Every structure is written in structure tokens, then in C-alpha cells.
Structure 1
Amino acid sequence: MDFALIDPETKESVIFPVAPSQIKISIGTKTMSFEPIVLGNVEIPRGRQPMTFEVSGMLPKSSTPLGKRASDLEPNEIVEKFKSWSDAGPYGKKLRLVISETDWNLPVFFPSFEPTIEKAGGNIPYSLTLTEYRNFEVKEIKNTQNVTQKKREETKMMPKTYTVVKGDSLWAISRKLTGSGNKWPELWNLNKSKLKSKNKDLIYPGEVLTIPKEWLK
């Protein structure tokens, strides 16, 4: 069984000289939600947890007698490659894990790689943690409270009366309140009995007009 990590961008691969002595795989489900200050309310889709691989073993130097080596990489070469991958970005390098003779072939990143260097040029024991790489999508939930309040303010009921100001006419008031000046006869018929002037073309500032019920809907 060969244990390899491949850089999907450069196609460069690191094949461990010998397979790890132990690989522990964790698989589970998840339900998560949180409210980070920067993002606001955040909803994370439910589903299974990303798989994790806890790997441990030995990186043997080339002079160590082995029955069969999967690669001729020296331990220090592998350590240096991991260092360069860890410096590739804030979350490290996206890699692909391939374990021959198994069905394991998936994208991963490594939260930690811990080699134990006992002496220069010697064999290096190591522990490695790999986590399945999964695209993380954040769905921001908009604050509907302010939107609802705004809609309520926009849909406030029209006042039941209107106080005439200088420059007003029945046609202008009708257009202001309904969007159509052609409805002015409805306003005139409802209020003509209480207006100072019996001339529909003459109204005075300060007069209070009753708004037709049909306009209030």
C-alpha cells in the first residue's frame, strides 16, 4: 500500500517511502450554527463532518535497509515539502490524498505535521493530521426586522382628513393623495357642503377636507 499526497496545481507528489504504521479515520455527522460578529447571523448547512485522518509512522533515510521502498525521498526532503505547503496560504495547501489498494482518494489539507528529528540525517518519526477539504459556503441571513418595519412605515394608512395649504386645488390634492387628479369630483362632492366657497375652483388655506373612504384603502 502506497501513501501519497499530490499537489493538484503543480501535479507534484510526495510518496512516503514506507506506508504509515497507523491511520485512524474519523467520520461523523454535524449540526452547527453560530453568529460571528463580522459576518452577522450565519447558517451552516447540516450534514456529515469532514473526515479526519490521524496518521503516524516513520520516514526512513535512504540507507535504512528495507524490503521495498515506495519512493527514494529522504526524510528531510519530505519535511521541507510540508513546510512549503504550510506556507502556501492562511489555511495551508489544498492537496489530494491517495492510498493505493484502497478507495481513499479525496482532497485534504493538513492542520498539523509533527516530525521528530532525533539527529541530523537519521530516520524521522512523525505524526500527521489530514482533514477532508470541503468547500465552505456561508449564507448570510438578512435582518428582516428593519425591512418589516420599513414596509409598515411605507404602508401607513392615509390620513382621514387633509388641510388645505396655499396653492392647493381639488385636482392637485387628488393627484397628491391618489396619483390621479381626475378623482377630484369625489373630493368635491364629499366636502362642498362645508366649504366657504360653493365654487369647486376656489378653496381656502386652512380648510379641512374629509378624504373619501375609497381613497383610504
Structure 2
Amino acid sequence: MDNYRIVLYLSDMTMELPVLPDKISVKRALDSSEKTVLELGNVNILKGAKLRQISFSSLFPAGRIPAVSVRQKIHEPLWYARKLRGMMESRKPLRFILLGQDLDINTQMSVESFEYSESYGAVGDIEYKLTLKEWVDYSPRKVTIRQNKAVTGSKKRSGQPKAAPADKAVQYTVRSGDSLWSICQKNYGDGSLYDKLYQANKSAIDKANAGRTVSAPSYQPVSWRNLEYGGVSAGKPVPKYTIYVGEVLTLPPKEKL
């Protein structure tokens, strides 16, 4: 777990978890409904994937213990509890960042629940359980409709494709709010193809991300197993799936991903 860090951001509030959880549970469910059809009986209507939910348990220690994964001075347990309550009560999405090899996650989420308690025998330590849910921006957007001139012959109207053609690749320009998952969901009907889309555009995406780092506190997480403390770090490269507005991706036919 030497390379793992969990950081929460909300406006001017920044918090790195001092003790990493033993495990992180990620829940992705399908939105479906059961209907009764004459002569067929019950059928299951599939609508799409629900929002991703992440939950984990850990503790805020009253002092520095071997399990502490950060080098800087840790805060009092109630400081962390108040910060999380403030993030929850702000009614605003926070940014959840999990850094660590292929498990990198950098997305906006809401605090669904925060439970904490002090156990007998560990006076001062606060044990907690945190549940986060994926947040999607639903604010209204201004749309400008342009009148296109009539075309004749073999000319076609320009614009983003509604779905990737089955016989040839098309170009897609990344828009605000896009991610590889949402692009796959919109164009292929399956967001789980995001890694294959990344592989199809790996050289371009890696080139765009080269040299970019996550704006996180500049310290190196340490191994609590070996009790070896690292030095100061200038930041970790952005997750490999990061894309940028205006970037042009190639969308191959679905069967060729």
C-alpha cells in the first residue's frame, strides 16, 4: 500500500485520510423494473446502470501509530470528523481522489452517510464508516441553436455522432463533463468499454497527460508495514484515463474494441 493515498477536496477544504482502509467496496447496480406481460408472465425491463457507490471503514487515530500512512503531522480525530460533517452538510459534491497504480479514481461524489464512534479500549481514537455516491452535474446549460444551410447531393450534416458506426471508426471531440466511461456509454451503450477505448487512443491520451500532475499536498505516503517514512514528493501523475476538453478521440467500431 506504499503508493496509495485517499484525498477529499471541497472548495477550500482538503483532507487526506491518515489511515488507509483495509478494503474499499465499489457498488454498481443496474436500474431495472419488473413488469407483468399477458401470456408471458413477469419480465425484467433493463434501463441502465445506476450511479457508482463507494464505501469503506477506517479510523482517525488520537496519535501517530504504525498504521498512519501520511508523513505530515496528523490532526486530532474530532478535526477529521468535523471536516467530514462540514462536507456532508455543505450539500455540495466533493472530489474523491484515490491514488495507487491502476486503481486511480478522480471523480466528484456526494457524502451519503458518515458514521463514527469511539470504542472502549482505544480512548481518543474515532472509528468511522463513510459512504460516497457518484455525482453527475444536472445544472441547466445554455444551448445555442444554429441554423444550418440546406445541403444537396452527398453532403451530410456535421456534428458529433449519436453512436459509433458498425463499419468504420469516427472522430469524437471531448466536451465538458465527458469521461471515457460516459463516451462509451453514449456511443456504444456500454460504459464498461472505457479501458478498451483508452487502449485504442493510448498514444494520444498518454501524450496529453505527459508531465501533468494532480494538485495534491506534496508529501510521500509511507509504508506502515515497514515503518519507513518517505521524503517530499512533487505530486503524482494524473490518472491514465484523464482526458481534456477539445481532445480528439478515435471511436472504432464496437466489435473492433
Q: What TM-score results when the alignment is normalised by the length of structure 2?
A: 0.42
Q: What TM-score results when the alignment is normalised by the length of structure 1?
A: 0.49
Structure with higher Rg: it is 1
